[in-house]
Chain A
Amino acid sequence: MPVDIWLIFLLSFMILGSIVALEIKDILSSIVAIGVVGLAVSTAFLILQAPDLAIVQFLFEIFALIILILAFIRKDYHGLEPARLNRLTAALTALTLVAVFAFSVHVFKSLPEFGRPILGTAGYYLENAGNEIKSANIVSAVVLDYRAYDTLGEVTILFTAILGTLTILRVRKAKKEGGED
């Protein structure tokens, strides 16, 4: 079967999953529906022949689900109130969605053909990564050699994020121990 049909199937599955996640009453079922969306993204990456992205997306999805379930496992979060929507907002939302859809169809038609990037650097990487870097996985060669400086930035972002989390949590703990403040 061609790739497009699988992709359309997965995308409709994702839209269904997000609608279920929004509309369902129980928050645990809602989190599971979000997980369905993430796993469909992972499968879409696999179908588009990007196993690196698929692995990372799959694992991070599991990780995010565990954090969400840990955060919302307690009873007082269960049972959501349905969001109220008046008619004008609903009409405006629908109109915006249709406009975005029409625009994106136009954009997707002008994208380059699958597997034929416009940029010259991508072709250079594909041709020379094996000989220059001797790395069988070209994604690794790009991420950790040609563009290692970007990866250093990513590692710094992660480092700063963890630092921020720990700082905020420590402040909260200190406040609780200190009593009044």
Chain B
Amino acid sequence: MSEKQGLTVIVKTITRAILAVIFLYGFYIILHGHLSPGGGFGGGVVLALGFLSVMLAYGRPTVQKWLNIRVLHSLESSGPLLFLALGLLGLAGGGAFLLNTMGKGRLFDLWSSGFILPLNIIIGVKVGLSLFLAVWALTEWDPEKGDDA
């Protein structure tokens, strides 16, 4: 059934080949947010565009089989909560809210700059999933076909 939905086989093959590279680039931007330009917001958009390319090339039903949308919703909603939890960690460490109490490490190391790396990961996942889920919700309702999509 997946032959009929989505775009042509050329687009599907190229999407399959390039998807891993898109996600790799997104994770790279998120994980190196404290070392090089980029960060959670930019990397999150790359992840969202990766999901989106699959949705456009293969059609919604294939994505629905591939991903559990409910789990993605919960993961997306837990983003601000995790952010708050990290903020309270600073409060528990005897300082102010969102105080950077984690070990700072050495400049230019991957494990440096305290809680900037975890915050970048949280923001990246949050931004990527919420942008994808927004487009997912917007394409759910097709005026031409009704609600069968």
Contact = CB atoms under 8 A, between A and B. Distances in A.
Contacts of B107: 130, 134-136
A137 B146 CA distance: 48
Nearest to A66: B52
Of A56, A71, A173, most B-chain CB atoms within 10 Å: A56
Nearest to B53: A66
Interface string A138-181: 01110111001101100110110110011001001100110000
Nearest to A163: B77
Contacts of A149: 97-98
Interface residues of B, number: 57
A104 B79 CA distance: 41
A93 B141 CA distance: 39
B20 interface: no
A1 B97 CA distance: 47
Interface residues of A, number: 43
B138 A169 contact: yes
Interface of B: 29, 33-42, 45-46, 48-49, 52, 56, 76-77, 79-80, 83-84, 87, 97-98, 100, 104-109, 112-116, 119-120, 123, 126-127, 130-131, 133-135, 137-141, 143-144, 146-147
Interface of A: 51-52, 54-56, 59-60, 62-63, 66-67, 70-71, 74, 130, 133-137, 139-141, 143-145, 148-149, 151-152, 155-156, 158-159, 161-162, 165-166, 169, 172-173, 176-177
